[in-house]
Amino acid sequence: MNDTNDALVIEGLAGGYDRFDVIHDISFRVARGEAVAILGPNGAGKTTVLRAIMGLLKHRRGRIAIEGTDVTRMSPHRVARGLAAMVPEGRRLFEGQSVEDNLRLGGIRLRRDRDRTSRLLQDVFDLFPVLKRYRDRDATALSGGEQQMVAIGRMMMSDPALMLLDEPSLGLAPLAVADLTAALRRLREQYRSILLVEQRVDLALEVCDRIYVVYGGRIVDEGRADEMGAEGRALIDAYLG
Ligand code: ATP
């Protein structure tokens, strides 16, 4: 197997909390430059998969590789050093810190490389011009949609090989969801490797190349977004309840 052509390879992943497995024998791939969605209802185990990739799930089995590097037993801070970065559910911005400070904290591993940090900051401002205008404002005083932009920008600042997003549309107003969708599409057009966890099927199909459906801790369906007909969508909707 040639893992290095893949941004992410997961094989036979199982794990959970307090020795109880909540995910069982999960295997899938994200090719380099591909955007892939994991869809599933509440409690299906989607966040648990992301936590396992970030090294945050203590109890896990199977194998996880990011661009050919085995991260199965890697500590979270090593994974965060350029392999993967996550936009967590609920955004979790640093309170009392400005937009720019939040962004720079995301890029703290690269702080000695000022040129690269400036380029990354510029990438974030190109994607979200509003953040440049608000760079000195308290990040947690922004609207929900703007805060989500900060969270995505903060993830971009560590220049990760793999971008993980956990339900970024949650709690956003319709207009903010449309802005988020447009931003994720632009990231995809830049051939970033993206793994998106969502409950919104429409958003996932619009932004991603392929989708997997997780139910009860297992992958129960998969497909290409552009081949997803009404029947496929009905099946996903049935799983999502
Ligand atoms: P949601 O959309 O609700 O976030 P999810 O698909 O991301 O759902 P997970 O958060 O991965 O689901 O949770 C899967 C299962 O693991 C759930 O039954 C949940 O109760 C359980 N679980 C999650 N976090 C913990 C934890 N820290 N300790 C114990 N059980 C947990």
Kindly list the protein residues whose Cβ atom lies closer than 6 A to any atom of ligand 1: 17, 22, 40, 42-48
Residue nearest to atom 19 of ligand 1 (CA): 43
Tell me the mean pLDDT in the region 135-142. Answer: 92
Q: What is the pTM of this model?
A: 0.94
Tell me the mean pLDDT in the region 157-185. Answer: 94
Measured over the CA atoms of residue 117, residue 120, residue 126 and residue 128, the dihedral's sign is negative
Taking 60 as the threshold, does the pLDDT of residue 189 lie above it?
yes
pLDDT digit string, tens, across residues 3-37: 678 999 999 999 999 889 999 999 999 999 999 99
Site to probe by mutation for ligand 1, drawn from 18, 21, 39, 47 as the one with most ligand atoms within 8 Å of Cβ, is 47
Could you give the CA distance from residue 21 to residue 31 in angstroms, rounded to a whole number? 27
Q: How confident is the model at residue 2 (pLDDT cuts 50, 70, 90)?
A: low
Q: From the CA of 137, how far away is ligand 1's center (Å)?
A: 33
Taking 60 as the threshold, does the pLDDT of residue 101 lie above it?
yes
Among 72, 94, 69, residue whose Cα is nearest residue 12: 72
Q: From the CA of 23, how far away is ligand 1's center (Å)?
A: 10
Residue nearest to atom 20 of ligand 1 (CA): 43
Residue nearest to atom 29 of ligand 1 (CA): 17
- Give the pLDDT of residue 49: 97
Q: Which domains does the chain have, with CATH numbers?
A: 1-83+162-241 (3.40.50.300), 94-159 (no CATH)
- Give the pLDDT of residue 92: 85
- Give the pLDDT of residue 233: 82
Taking 80 as the threshold, does the pLDDT of residue 102 lie above it?
yes
Tell me the mean pLDDT in the region 59-79. Answer: 94
Could you give the CA distance from residue 136 to residue 121 in angstroms, rounded to a whole number? 14
Q: What is the DSSP letter of 208?
A: -
